Structure 1
Amino acid sequence: MIKLLQPRLFLTSIFDLDLARLHDHGVRGLIMDLDNTLVGWNRPDLSQELKMWFQDVRAHGFKMCIVSNNMTERVEQFAEKVGVMAIPKAAKPRRRSFRLAMRKMGTTRHNTAVIGDQVFTDILGGNRLRLFTILVHPIDTHEYWATRLVRRLERYVVRRPHFPQSFSH
């Protein structure tokens, strides 16, 4: 069970992701969480740095889809701002939303990565389909009350000595 909770890559933020290296490893599609991965929880702001990151991701040839457990209006509004596909109310870690995202992007489990800030939703969901999983630190400490409770358990998993600290294939 612990293996299902381990990401393949652990980074401080999305901005630390080596897009060229990821592309060289055959990844062509990125499934991304929204809250506390791309922006703060329930925050509509889109920084200039994030806009430039999306441009860089596109320039590297990646397809993108936001997969979020948040409500439809919030997720779709953000996705429209950045020009990517989205799946709201995803019920992660269920596999259905990840499969749907791959279908929308035209990718497979062999060339798709998941980027998120939560072990029990993003990483578990991606690992259940054997996708390349990337865990980032949450952007903000402000988050949904239930998420704050789960974070306590996540801290135990994250501190385990076998937790990856670098890119490995």
Structure 2
Amino acid sequence: MPYLQPERYFSRISHINIERDLLACGFRCVLLDIDNTILSRATHDVPRDVGLWLAQARDAGVSFCLVSNNWHKNVHELANRLSMPIIAKAMKPLPVALFAACSMLGAKRSETVMIGDQLSTDVLAAHNAGMSAYLLAPLAEQDLRHTKYVRMVEQAILGGAVPEGAPQPVQASMADKSAAQNAFAQEK
């Protein structure tokens, strides 16, 4: 698997099926990015569906550790609110923080998946550490200036891939297209 290609790509964390996409794949530990993965940059809140998913995953036996390049006190406050260990100043895509997170959880790399919203930090860090990575579409379009530029490059790498759980574009049938063309021609 190429280093910048995630194993799976989801529209939101709540679209990851805990039984099928985590536990059945052998993942009992999840390393989680924070900004625009579980915490919206637009509202600075954990969306309701994300909080519910985290609770359900915990109830199913999944262990978590937050792994963030952020170093501000708000990430530590979030970790306290969620009762999760955290590694801040992670310096992703370097793998050292992911190794430390696995050690904190008592987890093997083979039973751990990194979940985040960026190819260049989260997915690359996971692959550098020899782990699997699930990519999420960002929770909000609002982002840091440098991240917006990185996202343009990442979109080119993804090549138009549609995340699982995203609404599918409606495909018009040939009959629909023909009817539309006839209606347009009659208007002229």
Give how far 1:93 is off. 0.5
Q: Which residue of 2 aligns with 1:4?
A: 3
Unmatched tracts of structure 1, length 5 or more = none
Task: Identify if the C-alpha distance between structure 1 residues 144 and 133 changes in structure 2 by more than 3 Å, giving closer, same or farther.
Answer: same
Q: Which residue of 2 aligns with 1:14?
A: 13
Structure number with greater Rg is: 2
Q: Which residue of 1 aligns with 2:170?
A: none
Given that 2:11 and 2:163 are in contact with CA atoms closer than 8 Å, whether structure 1 keeps it comes out as no
**What does 1:121-160 align with in structure 2 at a 5 Å threshold?**
121-159=121-159
When normalised by structure 2's length, the TM-score is: 0.81
Give how far 1:41 is off. 2.2
Unmatched tracts of structure 2, length 5 or more = 165-188
Q: Which residue of 2 aligns with 1:95?
A: 95
Identity, % of aligned positions: 28
The list of structure 1 runs, each at least 4 consecutive aligned residues, that deviate by more than 2 angstroms after superposition, is: 41-44, 46-51, 163-166
When normalised by structure 1's length, the TM-score is: 0.90
CA deviations 1:100-152 (Å, max 9, x no partner) are 11011110111000000000000000011221110010011111111111111
Give how far 1:17 is off. 0.3
Given that 1:9 and 1:164 are in contact with CA atoms closer than 8 Å, whether structure 2 keeps it comes out as no
Q: Tell me the secondary structure at the aligned position of residue 64 of structure 1.
A: strand
**What does 1:42-57 align with in structure 2 at a 5 Å threshold?**
43-57=43-57
CA deviations 1:34-60 (Å, max 9, x no partner) are 001001127542333332212101011
CA deviations 1:60-93 (Å, max 9, x no partner) are 1011001011124121111111111111111110
CA distance in 2, matches of 1:25, 1:112: 10
CA distance in 1, matches of 2:102, 2:111: 9
Answering whether residue 119 of structure 2 is matched by residue 119 of structure 1, we say: yes
Given that 1:102 and 1:108 are in contact with CA atoms closer than 8 Å, whether structure 2 keeps it comes out as yes
Q: Tell me the secondary structure at the aligned position of residue 34 of structure 2.
A: coil
Aligned residues: 163
Given that 1:6 and 1:164 are in contact with CA atoms closer than 8 Å, whether structure 2 keeps it comes out as no
Cα-Cα RMSD: 1.8
Matching residue's letter, 2:83: G
CA distance in 1, matches of 2:103, 2:29: 10
